[in-house]
Amino acid sequence: MSTVYSKRSAWWFTIGLLMASASIAQPADREPSADREPSAEQELLPVAGEYFTADQLVAWVWERNPGITQLTAAVEVASHRIEPAGSLDDPTLGYVFAPRTFGREGQGLNQKIEFDQKIPWPGTLAARRAVAEHQAAKARTDVETLRLELAALAKSAYAEWFFIQRALAIHHSTYVLLGELLAVAQTRYAAGTALQQDAIQAEMEQVNLQRHLLQLQRLQTSVRAGINALLNRETSASLPVPADIATPVTVPALAELERYALDTHPELRRVELQIATNVIRVTLAEKAFYPDFHFSAGYNSLWDEADKRPVVGMSINLPLDRGKRRAALNSARANVRLATSQRDNLRTRLFGEIAQARSELVESVDAVVLYQTSLLPLAIEYLQATVADYRSGAGAFLAVITAEQQKLAVEESLERNRADILRGIAKLEHLSGRNLKLHGQALSGERS
């Protein structure tokens, strides 16, 4: 029975991520779910006993995760900064008067009115607006990244929930079978055609199955708590029954998955946007070597001659400190190189992880086919043969127990690998940046 739990360490890590994702994203001022009235979204969850799919779970998690709401608000904030970034500074209006000229005969109050507008070097405003647009786009990639992470967590949790339900069903049918075998052993022992140790072996196996049930129930409680944490619900709330997981007959080629990542992965898009932003900042640093313009117009009645009173002027700042501007330019260029290296490293890491995840998924698919076509039929046939031999008096009861244990291990390993298929798909989708739709329909083609 140890084969059932050979991959449990990976699941505990996933469970930790599930519960952490909800607790980290929970706003500080949000009340615990136990103190809240059930929302309309929560009421849309199917009741226990109904079926739900992995994609449905992902949709519910997206609806209920407060982190998505937070990042969506950040996108709105960044979007509202675009227009101000590309706008001119507010103009200034000045007014000065000579109070001692008030009431003077023949002249009246002497006063000066001046209007001033600062205009940066051509192209500066467009560059600033482009930086703000890229910042808003980067904020949108943060939302997409979180959605990808939550989708992968939700589908991995769904896969484990699927395995637990199947393992419990297998356990129940095995326990029923063992009860029948115990009855046969007791009947034969009473008739004097079997040893007492046969009945004792059957009872010992029943106790082992009960211990195995406790392990499954503990894991079931942990998985339920993790899924409910993602859904922002009570950890002990009941969950629907998972629908069947379809086994894909094809997996996208490695080159296709890499192309998906290059085209749609939000982390790659984010670093590409950072490169573009830093390139624009290089442009802004270059324009800092040129002066800004100040255009002014006004009226000055302090002048005695009327022709001198209207004035129009222009001034510029003098960018004499070229050292600090050269340092800012070098820093901007270094940031471009830094972001470019980050993109290259991220691309290499993604491609390596995609290749590994694809290999693991293909292995799980092939394993399911092997279990369904060969191992499980052989285990069933072997159990039936040993039971028939024992009933006829030609076989040993220990062989029956061994065959029952092998069948249980094969059945649970089959369901484990089926769950691993969905977990592998979730990992590939996270790495490629899109829903591959492999778990909801049968596909045609080659896997290699």
Q: What percent of the chain has pLDDT over 70?
A: 85
Q: What is the pLDDT of residues 383-398, one digit of tens each?
A: 999 988 888 877 888 8
Lowest model confidence (mean pLDDT) among 124-133, 202-211, 252-261, 343-352: 202-211
CATH of domain 2-91+122-291+322-432: 1.20.1600.10
Token code pair at residue 100? 């001692």
Cα separation of 157 and 10, whole Å?
12
Tell me the C-alpha distance between 216 and 237, whole Å: 18
CA proximity to 212, closest of 419, 412, 418: 412
Check residue 247 and give its pLDDT.
82
What confidence tier does 34 reach under pLDDT thresholds 50, 70, 90?
Answer: very low
- Give residue 91's identity as a one-letter amino acid code: P
For the stretch 115-126, pLDDT in tens is 999 999 999 999
Mean pLDDT of 55-69: 90
Answer whether 233's CB lies under 8 Å from 42's CB.
yes
Tell me what the mean pLDDT of segment 274-300 comes to: 94
pLDDT digits (tens, 9 = 90+) for 396-432: 888 889 999 999 999 999 999 999 999 999 999 999 9
| Residue 85 pLDDT exceeds 60 | yes
Provide the whole-model pTM.
0.78
pLDDT of 140 > 50? The answer is yes
Whether the pLDDT of residue 15 is over 50: the answer is no
Question: Is residue 303 within a helix (H) or strand (E), and if so which, with residue range?
Answer: none
CA–CA distance, 129 with 106 (Å, rounded to integer): 53
Query: Domain residue spans in the chain?
Result: 2-91+122-291+322-432
Looking at residue 28, what is its pLDDT? Answer: 35
- Give the number of residues written for the chain: 448
Band of pLDDT at residue 47, cut at 50, 70 and 90: low
